[in-house]
A = this chain, B = another copy of it.
Amino acid sequence: MYTVEFLPAGMQVQVEEGTTLLEAAQKIGLHINASCGGSGVCGKCRVAVEHGEIQGGMSEKFSPEELRSGIRQACTATVHGDVRVRVVVTSSLGRGGLTTTVPRRHRATARFFDIEELREAGIFKPPVEKFFLELPRPSPVDNMADAGRVVTGMNHQYNERHLMVTLPALRKLRRVLREDDFRVTVTVARPVSSGGRTFIVDVQPGNWVNRNFALAVDIGTTTVYGQLVDLHHGKVLAEAGDYNGQISYGEDVISRIIYSEKDDGLETMRRAVAKTINGIIDRILSQAAVKAEEITSITLAGNTVMTHLFLGLEPNNIRRSPYVPVSALFPPIRSTDLELHLPAHSVALVYPAISSWVGGDIVAGVMGSGMYRTEKLTLYIDIGTNAEIVIGSREWLVCTACSAGPAFEGGGISCGMRAAAGAITDCSIHPETWEPMNTTLERKPPIGICGSGLLNIIAVFFERGVIDQRGKYRRDSDCERIREGRSGYEFVLAWQEESGAEHDIVLTEVDIENFMRAKGAIFAGVKTLLQEVGLGVADLEQVVLAGAFGSFIDIDSAMTVGLLPEIDVDKVVYVGNGSLMGCRMSALSNHIRRDVVEVVRKMTSFELSEVPSFKDEYVAALFLPHTDLSLFPSSIAARNGFGQDLQHEG
Contacts and interface: CB of A to CB of B under 8 A. Distances in A.
A10 interface: no
CB-based closest 8 A-B pairs: A195-B195, A147-B327, A143-B322, A174-B314, A145-B328, A140-B322, A145-B325, A138-B324
Contact of A327 (B148, B324, B330): B148
A110 interface: no
B140 A607 contact: yes
Given A138-B322, A143-B322, A174-B316, 10 more contacts: A140-B322, A141-B610, A143-B355, A143-B607, A145-B325, A162-B193, A165-B329, A167-B337, A173-B326, A174-B313
Nearest to A320: B138
A432 to B, nearest CB: 54
B171 A312 contact: yes
A175 B317 CA distance: 10
Given A337-B167, A607-B140, A329 B193 contact: no
A63 interface: no
Interface string A590-611: 0000000000000000010010
7 contacts: A140-B610, A143-B355, A147-B328, A165-B331, A167-B337, A171-B313, A193-B197
Interface string A325-356: 11111110100010000000000000001011
Contact of A324 (B145, B191, B312): B145
Contacts of A147: 326-329
A610 B140 CA distance: 8
Given A143-B324, A610-B140, A330 B170 contact: yes
Is chain A's binding surface mostly helix, strand, loop or mixed?
A: loop
A355 B147 CA distance: 12
A142 B328 CA distance: 14
Contacts of A170: 311, 313, 326-327, 330
A146 interface: yes
Nearest to A333: B167
A327 B145 contact: yes
A158 interface: no
Interface string A193-209: 11111010000000000
Interface of A: 138-148, 162, 164-167, 170-171, 173-175, 191-197, 199, 311-314, 316-317, 321-331, 333, 337, 353, 355-356, 607, 610
B143 A323 contact: yes
Contacts of A141: 610
B610 A326 contact: no
A296 to B, nearest CB: 18
Contacts of A328: 145, 147-148
Given A148-B327, A191-B197, A322 B139 contact: yes
A368 to B, nearest CB: 22
B148 A314 contact: no
A164 B331 contact: yes
Most chain B Cβ neighbours within 10 Å, of A175, A197, A355: A197
A146 B324 contact: yes
A311 B167 CA distance: 8
Contacts of A317: 138, 146, 174
A170 B317 CA distance: 14
A327 B197 contact: no
A163 to B, nearest CB: 10
A268 to B, nearest CB: 15
Contacts of A337: 167
Contacts of A143: 322-324, 355-356, 607
